[in-house]
Structure 1
Amino acid sequence: MFEVKKVIGSLLMPLPITLLLVALCLLFIARINVKSYLVSWLLVVSLWAISTPFFADVLITPSEKRLAPFLTNKHQNVDYVVVLGCGVRPASRLPANLQLSGCALSRLTEGLRLLHAYPNAQLIVSGAGHGKATSSAMMANTAVALGIPVHKIIQNSKARDTAEEALLLATRLVDSKVALVTSASHMTRAQDLFSAQGVDTIAAPVQFYSYGNAQGFRRFIASASVLNAVTTYAHELIGRQWIALRRMIDPQAL
């Protein structure tokens, strides 16, 4: 009964229920244009498929398995802990931590863990935003609220994307031991861009999706959160292809 309740509850979420209703409507549409009818069905079925934990597991898990969490017992010292930006939702009535996206909070939490493990290291928080409400400022304020001294925090508030983060931080980080904190899906591209600026980094990935742990029928039920994960992964694939294209045109680019 518990499993049945979970399956029914999952089916009633916005994405799966919408797709089911669209499919139901298609059953009553006159099939005058057979090609359009078949394409509509194909699109509905495809959107359902790519939104399932089963598809996400096949797509994402292989790349995640190539990454491991940062183990402090394997690295004697770190000079800088760099936390890359990941979105901010400005709302002046809220404290800084509530203005950060879940992704940014996940990255910052890992950054603070490493900072406690390496008390001589400095924390670099990065990312632009909207006016004074930058991702770097919100992360810095959150870190201070959690007990990190202001003098141990460096803000990189002008960087609008990962390429600019690497470019603007390069002169400071070259020849230093750097722990790079970002999402697992983003780590390959981020390290590539920092390496292109002459900065060697140690991966400290967060936000592992681990869809291989999904069980039973829920592996085949569409979910908005899974679709978001697949979208994030697709964004990274496009980003890497864009970098490759830029470098093909101009070897000095990015």
Structure 2
Amino acid sequence: MALQYKTIHPVKYLRDFLAHNVRPDGRILHKFRPMALNIRSISSADGSALVKIGNTSVMCGIKAELTTPRPEEPDRGFVVPNVELSPLSSSKFRPGPPSEEAQVASQFIFDVLTNSCCLDTRTLCVVPDKIAWVLYCDLICLNYDGSILDACLLALMAALLTVTLPEVEYDVEKSSTLVKNKRTPLLINSVPVATTHAVFDDDVLLLDPTGEEEDLASGTVTVVLCEGKLCSIFKPGGSPLSEQQLEGCVERAKKRVSAVLELINATSESSSRG
């Protein structure tokens, strides 16, 4: 009976729960779902990580290739993130070209990498104007259940922290490149963390929303913090938020930062011991 009620009246179903300050999955309004992280999941990649936030799962694999620096940035390498939301992850996605949501997620990740300065792309340059590293970061959603931007950014940063690059020698006279076996860890300056809220009935904020909650919401807002400071706020339309509501989102995002950094450190230590 409850399932039929939920199917016929999904908004009222959620509203009935929220009237008692609880959500259908048993969480209170401002509680995160459990997070899990596994690093170096793909042995053939230069860096990789698997992230779970609730039922949302994202795999990130990074491949490093040598290329010619861009003419406008001759002393820098570059990072190319690509988010894939496959039909296997959710029935809301269809086969074919990347969906609008996937393109928005890819641009979001790129903007965070640029704005946060977590990675100095000058460290990816081997010889200015001649040779540099490009990092292809493929983010594949294995299961979609909300807060996809949070999961993608966490998967990307965890994977970047595992990247090692081989030392490269470039002979200018012969224009030849020698890739050595010795590898050096990629230098990551900081770890930006994303935290998403869903806006329901224009004034109720649901932290770390599920896919169903996002579908019923009148909007979402994603706060990105880096080293405790506000990096960006991403709000693609929907209901407007007051200054007080945004401040609340930022304060709750700070708790997510602490939890994410603890998870990354604990996973890294466990991997090192293994």
TM-score, with structure 2 as normaliser: 0.30
Q: Indicate the structure whose relative CO is greater, using CA pairs within 8 Å and at least 6 residues apart.
A: 1
Richer in strand (by share): 2
Query: Which one has a bigger Cα radius of gyration?
Result: 1
Richer in helix (by share): 1
TM-score, with structure 1 as normaliser: 0.32
